[in-house]
Amino acid sequence: MPEEKKFHRRSIRLRGVDYSEPGAYFITICAARHRDIFGKIENDRVALSPLGEIVRACWVEIPDHFASASVQEFVVMPNHVHGIVGLTVGARYIVPLDPKARTPEKFQKPVKGSIPTIIRTFRGAVARRARRELGVSGNEIWQRNYFERVLRDGKEYADASRYILENRRRWEWDRENLERRMKPFDE
């Protein structure tokens, strides 16, 4: 009898990293199938769709639900979201200095106030609100995973901030721009 193939979900988290540690995290979350469902770019400005407005509102509300989180620069693009989430040590969230005492997130074992928990909660809030207000299913909104990068110093923070703030002006050349991908090369 042939051996059964087991499929394992590949984690995008760095092994052993505690994503609840104070610091800044550059986040990118893409729309399902990279569709332009959050809005469009007009004259270097983002004109948000009703779904895009929900995404923006839920992003801004992250600190209301996570005392240790703050939202820094962010932009809702036609088919993705870029943002910087800052985590600080508060009275309720003290990160242990001993690496053995840290609690890295594991599958089905969320860590309160960690980046994966914050992003999962954000995406769930968008899905619930979109279903209630627009009749849109959550699996029609988000790509399965997201990307994050730990910003380790001031230069990385400045680079990520600049990238976010300039993103809409570069949309015409962005490889995520669905309209650009559909154009023939000779145009």
Predicted confidence (pLDDT) per residue in 72-90, tens digit = 999 999 999 999 999 986 5
pLDDT at 89: 62
Q: Tell me whether residue 2 is in a domain.
A: no
Q: What pLDDT is recorded for position 3?
A: 53
User: How far apart are the C-alpha atoms of 101 and 123, rounded to whole Å?
Assistant: 29
Let me know if residue 187 belongs to a domain: no
Written as one string, the DSSP assignment of 145-182 is --EEEEE-SHHHHHHHHHHHHHGGGGGGG-TT-HHHHH
CATH of the domain at 174: 3.30.70.1290
Taking the C-alpha atoms of residue 65 and residue 120, their distance in angstroms, rounded to an integer, is 12
Q: Give the pLDDT confidence score for residue 88 in this predicted structure.
A: 86
Cα separation, 54 vs 31, in Å, equals 13
Q: State the residue for tokens 């995520």.
A: 176
The reported pLDDT for the residue numbered 184 is 43
Number of domains observed in the structure of the chain = 1
Enclosing domain of residue 79 = 23-181
Residue type, 3: E
> CB count, 10 Å around CB of 76?
24
Closest CA to 52 of 67, 26, 33, 74: 74
Note whether residue 8 is domain-resident.
no
* Averages of pLDDT over each 10 residues, the chain, 187 residues: 50 55 91 93 90 98 93 94 86 41 52 88 96 90 91 92 88 57 43
Asked whether residue 173 is assigned to any structural domain, the reply reads yes
Is the CB of residue 124 less than 8 Å from the CB of residue 137? Answer: no
Identify whether 186 is part of a domain.
Answer: no
pLDDT of residue 19: 64
| Residue 182 CB contacts under 8 Å (≥ 6 apart), including other chains | none
Segment 90-111, tens digit of pLDDT: 533 334 444 554 455 555 556 7
